[in-house]
Structure 1
Amino acid sequence: MQVIPPEIKKILDKWNIRGLVIMSLLFQTSLIFLAPLRKRTSKKWLAVVLWTAYLLADWTANYAVSQITKNQGKEPEPGDPPKNKKLLALWAPFLLLHLGGPDTITALALEDNALWQRHLFGLVSQALAGVYAVVQSLENVLWPPIVLLFITGTIKYVERTRALYSASLDKFKDRMLKPADTGPNYAKLMEEYDSKKKSNLPTEIFLTKEPDKHERPPTLVRPDREYLTDLEIVQYGFKFFNTFKGLVVDLIFSFRERDESRDFFKELKPGEALRIIETELGFLYESMYTKTAILHSKTGTLFRLIAFGSLLSSFFVFHRRPLKYDDFHEADVVITYILYIVGIALDLASMVIFLLSDWTFALRKLKDDPEEGESSIDSLLNWFLGFRKPRWKKHTCNGNQTHEVLTTGFFSRRWSGTVYGFNFIGFCLKAKVSRIHQKRNCKLLVWDSVVSILDKVIRSIQMLVGWIRDGNRSVRSVLRQRSKKNPFFRYTVYLLYLVFFAGVPGVFVVLWDYIDRIFSVKAYLEEIRFISREPLTKNQWEFIFYELKDKSDFAEKPEVAKKVSWARGEWALRDTKVAEIDRLMLYIENVDYDQSLLLWHIATELCFQKQEGDEEIENLSGESYDDREFSKIISDYMMYLLIMRPKLMSEVAGIGTIRFRDTKAEAERFFKGRHIKDLRDMKRASETVLSVNNKIEPMLVKGDRSKSVLFEASMLAKELGNLKETSNGDGKWRVLSKVWVELLCYAASHCKATEHVAQLSRGGELLSFVWLLMAHFGLADQFQINKGDARAKLVVGK
């Protein structure tokens, strides 16, 4: 008995190689155009599509080569053209070319770079398999285009392997290490010293120190213009990328590099600093995940020209060679032409991407004189780069306050430009948190409608499941009592009930739990329903920039720089002039970082909801309103990182998950007891939490077993509510905004550098921008801020 009908099997045998080759070409085409999008967005659907195409592209090409090799050893089928297998042998080097992958993606994740040995082995094995398929087809009149294609395919595969090799962290670090410095020849110096002393010559050893930073001329000078040009932004970004890419592998930097960067960034405007940093991160992304870095070299460019020339020559040789088309299947000839034409088109598209890359613009060196006028070439390059500039659009928020939000077009973005948020109280109430900067477009309205429908469906299902569970519990209790009195009833009706009405639903529950553990369905649905998205606003970035700029003035010494960069809010509180600082300091100095995040997040939300009335908002000054809005957005963002992106916070998360779950359980019990859980009213819920008497500390009542911080946060909110605004503007919201900057900076400086790099392939994070900005201002651990080693000199007196 045949499982597959003979007719279907015959079709599969006839079209399996053709289908695999076409699939391989489709995967390559999708990767080359979709891969650059992943640095611009964190959409799940794009990640799934790229993951599928990336994995299936290699598998399809490998399997197709094996099928071609197997097919070459078979006898021709009756009715097949006599030389058709010769044409199929031409497809083997095409598949080797596909295995080389597109220029826009070499690694799906950072860990793929460590597998460069596997790709090197794949290069050798696939090249041998292709050669074996061609050798089996000899004598073959198509050997000239086959040889030319092998040249192209081998170069492409070598490029991919070399890109993975260069981006693997150990090799990346090796290339950046400077030559070993042994210092003065101590043994020789001491021998000379002893010799002079024995000769009774007055001899002394002097130490000549390296020149101090104030004695060296500045190497970077900001042009005395209002703004940097687009070309200068890319050039400075490339320069600092080459300096600070060592952060990825935890290299130590000299005080000269630190001072050069800090002095330059102090002269920048916040918007210019943002653009330079996003350019740096773009260079870092392309170094780690694409072929761009190795192609923008003399060797890479030369071999790319050779590869394209070989592909083009192969096509012309194949097209102009006198062939008898009766010797081949017409479909196979068409597929061969498709492979050539699409392959050439994709190479041309790669060349366009290559020429328009930031690396191409960065190759034009910075001018020695910043005030020198623009040349015609500079003007042309600035015109091209003008399409990639960040776009800001004015947006009117509640209270009639106007802010500029980042609204760069999708294909012009260098990162997502989005600040995500997760609200604790909203999550406990299963309430949708509205955006502060609500975009008004059809796409967003459709998406909000879909999310609302999904939310209603999930809530209805949960309600139905609850009813069934309650009904099942009642029926089961009645049947159990009845079965105790009637043995026949126990082994008939009660048994059938347990099997069909209790056992079967239990199987589905177990199955659902198993699926959820594998695919994280619940987490994904919760992410859709409860994560908010805010565009980055100009005033937010300016506030972060100026806060770090002010702190960099204190970071002259290593110990001070470390103290400033490791501050978790205490530096900000001491910098303010409010009287209640000592009480607020208890919620920072005596608690863990994850506990502090949860405390200040809930307290910020309680204060935000308490002041939610339109009249109260309108009475706020412009700066107070900005501080209020900024505190809310960063508070939700930090909670998003702690709960939804735990890898980014792994160094500082502590028992954050346990603390979050305990606090959530207490909040849900409290809201349920006050009959407000199903109302989904965040303002009323916040007022109810604040109404609880906090005269006695919760820990004295509850003990330390539960890690919940709900009512400690209520106490903190009340302390913040008592703050009076001072003459210099230090009030509740200014204190909160400064504290949240420090909490954000602490997380950025303690996040693993590899996690920052990994996030670049998922749309980027504001956290990574803060991390790099801190490094530019000298607020990082990797700086050897002390002066360099002294040089010994032997001086003999007369």
Structure 2
Amino acid sequence: MVLSVPAHAKKLWDAWNIKGNIILSLFLQVLLILFAPIRKWRGGKWGKCLHMLIWLAYLMADWVAGVTIGLILSNRMKSSAEDGDIQTLWAPFLLLHLGGPDTITSFALEDNELWVRHLLGLILQVVSTAYIFLISLPDNKLWLPTLLVLAAGIIKYVERNRALYLASFGNLGDDWPPSEWGDELPIPFEFQEMDKMEDFDDSEQSILWTAIHHFGTIKMLLVGPLLSPYQCSEIRETFLQAGNIPSQHQEEKPSRHQEVNPSRLLEIIEIELSLLYEVLHTKLPVVGCKVGYIFRFITMSCILGALLSFSLFKKSYKLEQFDMWLTYGLLLGALVLDFISIIYLLIFSDWLLVAYVQITKSRLFKKWRWATKSRLFKKWRWSTAVSQMNFITYYVKDYPIWLRDFGDFVRIRPLLEVIKGIRCLSSQNFKEDSDWPFIFYEVRELNEYLNLKMADSSQTVLEASQVWRYSRERALRCFDDSQREDITEIIEELDYTKSVLTWHIATELCFLEKHQSSNNHRALCKMLSDYMFYLLVMRPAVMAALSVSWKAVFEDTLAETEILVRRSSPSNEKDARTKILQLIPHVRNPEKDRNRSALFAASALAKCLKQLNGSYPWEPMSKVWVQLMCFAAMNCRPHIHAQQSSKGGELLTFVWLLMNHLGLGTHFSSHC
């Protein structure tokens, strides 16, 4: 039996396949240009949903445009096509769509590495569209608007391919020439003269200048070798100098810290990551220059000319009403989308500062009110949302045994784990006025401590294992003498991943203790603990260099909890937490259980942390978590950090940049 397509369905497809795909392509362009910029400052669950929407639109946009060009070419090969001229005019619009909006050229870093594939696509699609135009001559009455849109489409598509080429790791640093500042520190020539300006002391100007000055350093960290000691010293000096202007809201610190305002330094890092996002995922480095402005003027002039010529030609050419309005929609849509791109460049982008100085090369820069721009749009640089997940919630929301067995049987257990992680996921806003200063001073003191260790041992670099040992020693010094010995006995032989899990469970047990007074250190400790647990469970790529045995340790700990608690469908999470607190034995020496799980070590650690008055040392515990986070940040691969700029920003990436700006990266003999 042969199945046949109903005649009415075939007729409907023939009438609407091209028109429907063109409308869908235009809709996808609108979706991308409006929502793509939001992903760099949107985190949490809603941010993940937004990323999924952008991912689907990004993949579908290229596919729909390419398929539609093929359908038009197939239609034009039929001599009986009655609406061939208008379809020929539609084909170049698909080149415009393949060129994509200025707000997104790539969804992930891997897309930039495929620039050769996109170049091949450019050649094929341009040849196909040009062929559609050529076979329509000499009878095509809409040849002029078609030719103008074709020129605009080719320019837009070339812009996208050039942006992908420049953002690929093999070419990322080529557009930043050597400077005269020593050791070829990459910084644009235009900005090398800015430090010579008189009275260069404006707060916001110095922040922006420092961010631009250090942006080349970020690119070197991503694609190049380690920075030299001279470069690190120069970077650290200019970075801290930018934070010398005090803030009215700055908390009282010891005298040696009063000269630095951590909030200003955080803003520098925010601008750097914003610039990095625009370099890696948008057209701004291509269009934000003199040549780019010239071609953008040509593009908009071509589209405007096509709109005017079409308005004249349509009077002498009989068109269906819907086809005429669809064509007007494509023409006006192209103009509006380009206008929105310009608005994005002028308002949302920090790259405009680079473009402005490159074009003017004058001191008029000082007269611009960058302070207003910086304060108004600071919230659009990163989400300030820190993802949260804790062990007890993860355990409580586990699947029934039969579902886990079924998942193993059909080999979908990893998918079930991802779904479970999303169910357990939450987020918490990062307090820039209190949390960041604590992290900054702790990282700064860690840097000074490691410098002393290197001087004492006559070393110029430290192995990662040495950094981990020294960091742990320094963190334990924050505890009382009575606690330090017991804590050291428990955690001394634990590797990094088991240490994170042990400290996390211990922090959770301490946090859930009743009659706890609320303070900033307690909240910060809880936030960092849940954040590091989230990275281990949901972002294994971030912790890949450190979490080799993480999965086995984690599964053993879950199994141990199952045996001890013997839960039977607890009524709610609070009851389950109470049962875990009551049934987990507090073991003094977890040595015999250390190879199986971190549960007993965490239980013993929680007992050691409890002080005589029933309280807990939240400030020293917060310092431990900063040390754990710093070690993870420095061992995370640089390109993983770069990926976070398009996902709402990651606190770990901010810490990584802070450490490098303070010279902490030089303590490692090599990067992972």
Range into which the TM-score falls when normalised by the shorter chain: 0.7 to 0.9
The one-letter amino acid paired with 1:721 is: K
> Within 2, Cα distance between the matches of 1:373 and 1:335?
45
TM-score (norm 2): 0.84
Which of the numbers 461, 464, 469 marks the counterpart of 1:559?
461
> Within 2, Cα distance between the matches of 1:44 and 1:272?
29
- What residue in structure 2 maps to residue 104 of structure 1? 103
Which of the numbers 262, 272, 275 marks the counterpart of 2:236?
262
- What residue in structure 2 maps to residue 760 of structure 1? 645
1:423 aligns to 2:390 (yes or no): yes
Q: How far did 1:548 drift?
A: 1.5
> In the alignment, is the contact (CA less than 8 A) between 2:126 and 2:154 conserved in 1?
yes
Q: How far did 1:365 drift?
A: 5.5
> In the alignment, is the contact (CA less than 8 A) between 2:525 and 2:621 conserved in 1?
yes
1:548 aligns to 2:449 (yes or no): no
1:332 aligns to 2:323 (yes or no): yes
- What residue in structure 1 maps to residue 203 of structure 2? 228
Q: How far did 1:643 drift?
A: 0.9
- What residue in structure 1 maps to residue 633 of structure 2? 748
The one-letter amino acid paired with 1:767 is: L
After superposing the two structures, state which structure 1 stretch, 715-724 or 51-60, moved more: 715-724
> Within 2, Cα distance between the matches of 1:674 and 1:10?
60
Which of the numbers 593, 596, 599 marks the counterpart of 1:710?
599
> In the alignment, is the contact (CA less than 8 A) between 1:430 and 1:680 conserved in 2?
no
Shift in CA distance, 72/511, structure 1 to aligned 2, threshold 3 Å: farther
The one-letter amino acid paired with 1:290 is: T
Q: How far did 1:754 drift?
A: 0.9
Shift in CA distance, 673/350, structure 1 to aligned 2, threshold 3 Å: closer
> Within 1, Cα distance between the matches of 2:538 and 2:444?
30
Q: How far did 1:763 drift?
A: 1.3
1:61 aligns to 2:50 (yes or no): no
> Within 2, Cα distance between the matches of 1:251 and 1:176?
16
Q: How far did 1:129 drift?
A: 0.3
Which of the numbers 535, 548, 565 marks the counterpart of 2:429?
535
- What residue in structure 2 maps to residue 602 of structure 1? 505
1:776 aligns to 2:646 (yes or no): no
- What residue in structure 2 maps to residue 378 of structure 1? 368
Shift in CA distance, 141/782, structure 1 to aligned 2, threshold 3 Å: farther
> In the alignment, is the contact (CA less than 8 A) between 1:565 and 1:779 conserved in 2?
no
Shift in CA distance, 364/68, structure 1 to aligned 2, threshold 3 Å: closer
Q: How far did 1:22 drift?
A: 1.2
1:351 aligns to 2:342 (yes or no): yes
> Within 2, Cα distance between the matches of 1:606 and 1:220?
56
- What residue in structure 1 maps to residue 129 of structure 2? 130
Which of the numbers 621, 626, 631 marks the counterpart of 2:520?
626
After superposing the two structures, state which structure 1 stretch, 551-560 or 535-544, moved more: 551-560
Q: How far did 1:513 drift?
A: 6.7
Which blocks of at least 5 consecutive residues in structure 2 are unaligned? Answer: 184-193, 244-260, 455-459
The DSSP-based 3-state class of the residue aligned with 1:523 is helix
1:580 aligns to 2:483 (yes or no): yes
- What residue in structure 1 maps to residue 213 of structure 2? 239
The Cα offsets for residues 233-262 of structure 1, whole Å up to 9 and x where unpaired, read as 333222211233211124322333322332
After superposing the two structures, state which structure 1 stretch, 269-278 or 584-593, moved more: 584-593
After superposing the two structures, state which structure 1 stretch, 537-546 or 561-570, moved more: 561-570
Which of the numbers 277, 294, 304 marks the counterpart of 1:302?
294
> Within 1, Cα distance between the matches of 2:119 and 2:353?
32
Structural mapping, 1:414-493, within 5 Å: 414-430=381-397
Shift in CA distance, 509/687, structure 1 to aligned 2, threshold 3 Å: closer
The DSSP-based 3-state class of the residue aligned with 1:159 is helix
- What residue in structure 1 maps to residue 303 of structure 2? 311
- What residue in structure 1 maps to residue 587 of structure 2? 694
TM-score (norm 1): 0.71
1:93 aligns to 2:92 (yes or no): yes
> In the alignment, is the contact (CA less than 8 A) between 2:510 and 2:616 conserved in 1?
no
The DSSP-based 3-state class of the residue aligned with 2:481 is coil
> Within 1, Cα distance between the matches of 2:494 and 2:556?
16
Q: How far did 1:674 drift?
A: 10
Which of the numbers 70, 94, 116 marks the counterpart of 2:74?
70
The one-letter amino acid paired with 2:51 is: A
RMSD: 3.4
> In the alignment, is the contact (CA less than 8 A) between 2:461 and 2:668 conserved in 1?
no
> In the alignment, is the contact (CA less than 8 A) between 1:219 and 1:260 conserved in 2?
no
The one-letter amino acid paired with 2:72 is: I
Q: How far did 1:682 drift?
A: 5.7
The Cα offsets for residues 759-792 of structure 1, whole Å up to 9 and x where unpaired, read as 222211100000000011100148999xxxxxxx
> Within 1, Cα distance between the matches of 2:154 and 2:12?
33
> Within 2, Cα distance between the matches of 1:251 and 1:647?
22
1:287 aligns to 2:279 (yes or no): yes
> In the alignment, is the contact (CA less than 8 A) between 1:578 and 1:731 conserved in 2?
no
The Cα offsets for residues 1-58 of structure 1, whole Å up to 9 and x where unpaired, read as 6532112211210111111111111111111111111112242321221121111111
Which blocks of at least 5 consecutive residues in structure 1 are unaligned? Answer: 184-217, 367-371, 390-411, 432-458, 470-505, 619-624, 786-798
The structure having more radius of gyration, on CA atoms, is: 1
The DSSP-based 3-state class of the residue aligned with 1:681 is helix
The DSSP-based 3-state class of the residue aligned with 2:156 is helix
Shift in CA distance, 221/591, structure 1 to aligned 2, threshold 3 Å: farther
Q: How far did 1:384 drift?
A: 3.3
The DSSP-based 3-state class of the residue aligned with 1:74 is coil
Q: How far did 1:517 drift?
A: 5.4
- What residue in structure 1 maps to residue 246 of structure 2? none
Shift in CA distance, 169/565, structure 1 to aligned 2, threshold 3 Å: farther
The one-letter amino acid paired with 1:54 is: Y
> Within 2, Cα distance between the matches of 1:577 and 1:746?
24
> Within 2, Cα distance between the matches of 1:699 and 1:258?
42
The Cα offsets for residues 557-609 of structure 1, whole Å up to 9 and x where unpaired, read as 64369755875422222355534323323444421100111111111122222
> In the alignment, is the contact (CA less than 8 A) between 1:266 and 1:549 conserved in 2?
no
- What residue in structure 2 maps to residue 201 of structure 1? none
- What residue in structure 2 maps to residue 195 of structure 1? none
Shift in CA distance, 567/634, structure 1 to aligned 2, threshold 3 Å: farther
> Within 2, Cα distance between the matches of 1:679 and 1:360?
50
The one-letter amino acid paired with 2:114 is: L
> Within 2, Cα distance between the matches of 1:374 and 1:172?
26
> Within 1, Cα distance between the matches of 2:384 and 2:196?
29
The Cα offsets for residues 189-212 of structure 1, whole Å up to 9 and x where unpaired, read as xxxxxxxxxxxxxxxxxxxxxxxx
1:660 aligns to 2:554 (yes or no): yes
> Within 2, Cα distance between the matches of 1:150 and 1:724?
78
The one-letter amino acid paired with 2:166 is: S
> Within 1, Cα distance between the matches of 2:134 and 2:143?
10
> Within 1, Cα distance between the matches of 2:275 and 2:409?
42
> In the alignment, is the contact (CA less than 8 A) between 2:590 and 2:604 conserved in 1?
no
After superposing the two structures, state which structure 1 stretch, 707-716 or 634-643, moved more: 707-716
Higher relative contact order (CA 8 A, sep 6+): 1
The one-letter amino acid paired with 1:617 is: S
> In the alignment, is the contact (CA less than 8 A) between 1:595 and 1:656 conserved in 2?
yes
Q: How far did 1:88 drift?
A: 1.3
After superposing the two structures, state which structure 1 stretch, 56-65 or 712-721, moved more: 712-721
After superposing the two structures, state which structure 1 stretch, 661-670 or 681-690, moved more: 681-690
Shift in CA distance, 365/294, structure 1 to aligned 2, threshold 3 Å: closer
The Cα offsets for residues 455-492 of structure 1, whole Å up to 9 and x where unpaired, read as xxxx9xx6xxx8xx8xxxxxxxxxxxxxxxxxxxxxxx
> In the alignment, is the contact (CA less than 8 A) between 1:429 and 1:668 conserved in 2?
no
> Within 2, Cα distance between the matches of 1:15 and 1:675?
54
Shift in CA distance, 580/143, structure 1 to aligned 2, threshold 3 Å: same
Shift in CA distance, 680/731, structure 1 to aligned 2, threshold 3 Å: closer
The one-letter amino acid paired with 1:297 is: C
- What residue in structure 1 maps to residue 622 of structure 2? 737
Q: How far did 1:171 drift?
A: 1.7
The Cα offsets for residues 211-248 of structure 1, whole Å up to 9 and x where unpaired, read as xxxxxxx96999997x822x443332222112332111
- What residue in structure 2 maps to residue 4 of structure 1? 5
